[in-house]
Amino acid sequence: MSDPKNRSEAEWRQELSPEEYHVCREKGTEPPFTGDYWNVFEDGTYRCRCCGEPLFESDTKYDAGCGWPSFYAPKDEEVIEEAFDSSHGMRRTEVMCRKCGCHLGHVFPDGPEPTGLRYCINSASISLEKP
């Protein structure tokens, strides 16, 4: 397997399902309340679907009522890359996996303590590794 930062679009298309490719590589969004993890609260580590980087721990996941997996903090600040997103007439902060550039979702300033943040993440961008 090649370095995730240098993988071609053809390689990504071969490795990911069509929905995963659309979300992860084309910055798509899955419909709310449809992803595999929006209502899952099992112990484990949520990893990047594209490269396996550990991104979020289950103890930071909470039910935000939005229909997507929501976390109040990443596993480590260094694993997440942020970018301004003005698509769809909105002003948002996109979050991506720093290791491979996978689009994860967005972060909003309306989450619970201790951070006050809500990392709203597409299920198609992550996979749960159970202990």
What residues act catalytically? 120
Give the CA distances from residue 8 to residues 4, 15, 34, in Å, rounded to whole numbers and listed in that order.
Answer: 9, 11, 28
Q: How far apart are CA 124 and CA 131, in angstroms?
A: 20
Residue 46: how many CB atoms within 10 A of its CB?
Answer: 26
Pairing relationship of beta strands 80-85 and 70-71 according to DSSP bridges: unpaired
* CA–centroid distance for 101 within its chain: 11
Residue-wise DSSP of 65-113 = SSSS-EESS-S-GGGEEEEEE-GGG--EEEEEETTT--EEEEEES---T
